[in-house]
Amino acid sequence: MTKRLVAALALALAPVALVLLGCASAQLVAPDVGATAANRETLVHGRKLFVAKCGGCHPLHAPSSLSDAEWLQVLDEKEMAAKAKLKPADREAVLAYVTAVNGRE
């Protein structure tokens, strides 16, 4: 291949690589927080609800994108818990999940 063709391919593939890397960094995983079995169940349930209920209406925000207080505000003041028709226990599970994995306070 010529240098010109290699350079053109590199430029053409660079945006694809950036998109793939960006998507990979936003993966949502259940945390390993060394919690009790009940707490792990709550976190796993919260993640499932987060993906299904929140992701069912809009692209998911990475839990790390907001602080604990901001997640609380999103669920309550912006009424996302009500819009997603979350029962109180389910709202608590979602909040437990996003605050456990966000790495922020």
Domain boundaries, the chain: 28-101
pTM of the prediction?
0.65
Q: So what's the pLDDT on residue 58?
A: 93
Q: So what's the pLDDT on residue 4?
A: 72
Low-confidence ranges of the chain (pLDDT < 70): 1, 3, 5-38, 105
Are the beta carbons of 43 and 30 closer than 8 angstroms? yes
Are the beta carbons of 74 and 48 closer than 8 angstroms? no
Q: Read off φ and ψ for residue 72, nearest 5 degrees.
A: -60, -40
Q: So what's the pLDDT on residue 21?
A: 46
Strands (E), the chain: none
Q: So what's the pLDDT on residue 23?
A: 46
